[in-house]
């Protein structure tokens, strides 16, 4: 359970992960939840972030804010991805430390691991080899965030009583996702394409790659449950399972599907009756990326939402958003 006396700042509260954590903590009646929109607070601005922390003085921080996107976005805007994510992380984590925040949770991504990692991927694979080229800048930024949290813990953990933790989720989906026609991830991108194809009575939907890569997916509300769980585990218990320089924790569902299988499931959920065409001239990305979630499972958490149930909830929310915008 959350400490009801805490003031909790959720950075990136309107995004996929941040909105889910916000919903969860509000439902738990956390005493005070603090958040600002990107229009109100530019997290890439050191001065703005410094001013915000000096005024709001949160006790805990969930750092969910990030510039994110799929293969196309990462390939097209590599400078934006590394710069903006580094700036957001450095500002929020540093100002958290300077203002006396004792507990912080940093949200990373499974793309931090080498392209040819052993499968499933344990936390110890970090920095073991070369990264996937299509999202290397984003991955390097996220690795830097992990190492900043670890370094602060190592240098100031005892003297300043800080405990900054990092979690690495697998591929996420669910309410609050980004459905941009070019810059979204695989599930929201496919949901949008199949929906439009059904709406426009088209006969086919084109999917990038050959459909053979495997992907693990996690429903976002399962992730927010895991984040609260990790945030509130006693430090002495967590230290039994982690090392000072390998302290991040994988969060996955343990279930993987080929892109072809996911496309077929989404086709069924949406109710599209046409054909799926795989464009083999487009990149596949990493062929397999299954996280080893034994650490968090051993701590007492596991995912609950199956892919069909999660996609039905997600598509229902997508339809609701479309009705509101029309």
Per-domain residue ranges of the chain: 7-177+217-255+289-305
Q: Are 257 and 307 in contact (CB under 8 A)?
A: yes
End-to-end CA distance of the chain: 40
Per CATH, the homologous superfamily of domain 7-177+217-255+289-305 is: NAD(P)-binding Rossmann-like Domain (3.40.50.720)
pLDDT of residue 5: 73
Say how far apart CA 178 and CA 190 lie, in whole Å. 12
Query: 14 pLDDT exceeds 50?
Result: yes
Query: 4 pLDDT exceeds 70?
Result: no
Q: How many helices (H) and strands (E) does the chain have?
A: 11, 11
pLDDT in tens, 93-119: 999 999 999 999 999 999 899 988 999
pLDDT of residue 1: 40
pLDDT of residue 185: 77
Say how far apart CA 132 and CA 122 lie, in whole Å. 17
Query: How distant, in Å, are the alpha carbons of 66, 88, 119 from that of 92?
Result: 11, 6, 33
Query: 184 pLDDT exceeds 90?
Result: no
Query: 273 pLDDT exceeds 70?
Result: yes
Catalytic residue among 138, 164, 173, 315: 138
Residue 2: which pLDDT band, with cuts at 50, 70 and 90? Answer: very low
pLDDT in tens, 278-295: 999 988 877 888 999 999
Query: How distant, in Å, are the alpha carbons of 132, 136, 216, 265 from that of 117?
Result: 10, 15, 15, 27
Buried b or exposed e, range 80-118, using 16+ CB within 10 angstroms: ebbebbbbbbbbbbbbbbebebebbbbbbbbbbbbbebe
Cα within 13 Å of Cα(95), Cβ side: 26
Look up 138 and say whether it is catalytic. Answer: yes
Q: Which residues pair with 257 in a beta bridge?
A: 215
Query: 121 pLDDT exceeds 50?
Result: yes
pLDDT of residue 288: 86
The mean pLDDT of 6-30, rounded to a whole number, is 92
Query: 3 pLDDT exceeds 60?
Result: no
Say how far apart CA 177 and CA 120 lie, in whole Å. 26
Average pLDDT over the chain, rounded to an integer: 93
Q: What is the pTM of this model?
A: 0.92
Residue 177: which pLDDT band, with cuts at 50, 70 and 90? Answer: confident
pLDDT of residue 132: 87
């Amino acid at each position: 359970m959350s400490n009801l006396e805490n003031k909790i700042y959720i950075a990136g509260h309107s995004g996929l992960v941040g909105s889910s954590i916000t919903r969860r903590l509000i439902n738990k009646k956390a005493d005070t939840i603090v958040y600002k929109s990107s229009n109100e607070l530019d997290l890439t601005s050191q001065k703005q972030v410094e001013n915000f922390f000096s005024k709001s003085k949160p006790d805990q921080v969930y750092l969910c804010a990030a510039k994110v996107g799929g293969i196309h976005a990462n390939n097209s805007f590599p400078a934006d991805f590394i710069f903006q994510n580094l700036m957001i992380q450095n500002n929020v984590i540093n100002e958290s430390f300077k203002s006396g925040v004792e507990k912080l949770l940093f949200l990373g991504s499974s793309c931090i691991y080498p392209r040819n990692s052993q499968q499933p991927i344990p936390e110890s694979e970090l920095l073991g080899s070369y990264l996937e080229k299509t999202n290397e800048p984003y991955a390097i930024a996220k690795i830097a965030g992990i190492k900043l949290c670890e370094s602060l813990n190592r240098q100031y953990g005892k003297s300043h009583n800080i405990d900054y933790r990092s979690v690495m989720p697998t591929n996420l989906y669910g309410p609050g996702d980004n459905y941009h026609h070019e810059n979204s991830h695989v599930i929201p991108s496919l949901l949008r394409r199949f929906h439009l194809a059904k709406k426009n009575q088209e006969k086919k939907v084109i999917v990038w790659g050959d459909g053979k890569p495997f992907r693990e997916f996690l429903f976002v509300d399962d992730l927010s449950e895991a984040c609260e769980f990790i945030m509130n585990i006693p430090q002495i218990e967590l230290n039994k399972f982690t090392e000072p320089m390998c302290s991040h924790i994988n969060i996955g569902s343990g279930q993987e599907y080929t892109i072809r299988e996911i496309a077929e499931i989404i086709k069924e959920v949406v109710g599209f009756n046409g054909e799926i065409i795989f464009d083999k001239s487009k990149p596949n990305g990493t062929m397999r990326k299954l996280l080893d979630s034994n650490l968090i499972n051993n701590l007492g958490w596991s995912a609950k939402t199956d892919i069909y149930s999660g996609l039905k909830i997600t598509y229902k929310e997508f339809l609701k958003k479309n009705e509101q915008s029309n």
